[in-house]
Amino acid sequence: EVQLVESGGGLVQPGGSLRLSCAASGFTFSTYWMNWVRQAPGKGLEWVASINLDGGGKYYGESAKGRFTISRDNAQNSIYLQMNSLRAEDTAVFYCGRGSGAPDSWGQGTLVTVSS
Amino acid sequence: QSVLTQPPSLSAAPGQKVTISCSGSNSNIGRKYVSWYQQLPGTAPKLLIYDDNKRPSGIPDRFSGSKSGTSATLGITGLQTGDEADYYCGTWDNSLSAGVFGGGTKLTVL
Measured between beta carbons, the chain B residues lying within 8 angstroms of A109 are 44
Q: Tell me, yes or no, if A110 comes closer than 8 A to chain B by beta carbon.
A: no
For testing the chain A interface, which of B97, B105, B106 should be mutated: the one with the most A CBs within 10 Å?
B97
Give the pLDDT band (50/70/90) at residue B7: very high
Contact B50 A104 (CB under 8 A): yes
Among the partner-chain residues B56, B91, B102, the one whose CB lies closest to the CB of A101 is: B91
Give the pLDDT band (50/70/90) at residue A103: very high
Per-residue pLDDT tens for A15-34? Answer: 999 999 999 999 999 999 99
Looking at residue A14, its pLDDT comes to 98
Q: Which residues does B67 contact at the CB level (< 8 Å), separation at least 6?
A: B29, B34, B52, B53, B73
Measured between beta carbons, the chain A residues lying within 8 angstroms of B86 are 44
Looking at residue B41, its pLDDT comes to 92
* Average pLDDT of the residues of chain A: 97
Give the pLDDT band (50/70/90) at residue A101: confident
**Number of Cβ atoms within 10 Å of the Cβ of A7:** 14
Looking at residue B50, its pLDDT comes to 97
Give the pLDDT band (50/70/90) at residue A98: very high
Measured between beta carbons, the chain A residues lying within 8 angstroms of B45 are 45, 95, 103, 106
Select from B93, B32, B102 the least CA-distant residue to A50.
Answer: B93
Length of chain B: 110
Q: Which residues does B28 contact at the CB level (< 8 Å), separation at least 6?
A: B3, B4, B70, B91, B92, B93, B94, B95, B100
Q: How far is CA A115 from CA A15, A39, A87, B10, B65, in A?
A: 10, 17, 8, 35, 41
Q: In angstroms, what separates the C-alpha of B69 from chain A's closest C-alpha?
A: 19
Looking at residue B89, its pLDDT comes to 98
Per-residue pLDDT tens for B31-78? Answer: 999 999 999 999 999 999 999 999 999 999 999 999 999 999 999 999
Give the pLDDT band (50/70/90) at residue A67: very high
pLDDT at B1 over 90: no
Q: Tell me, yes or no, if B74 comes closer than 8 A to chain A by beta carbon.
A: no
Do A63 and B55 form a contact (C-beta atoms < 8 A)?
Answer: no
Per-residue pLDDT tens for B88-107? Answer: 999 999 999 999 999 999 99
* Average pLDDT of the residues of chain B: 97
Q: Tell me, yes or no, if A102 comes closer than 8 A to chain B by beta carbon.
A: yes
Looking at residue A100, its pLDDT comes to 85
Q: In angstroms, what separates the C-alpha of B55 from chain A's closest C-alpha?
A: 11
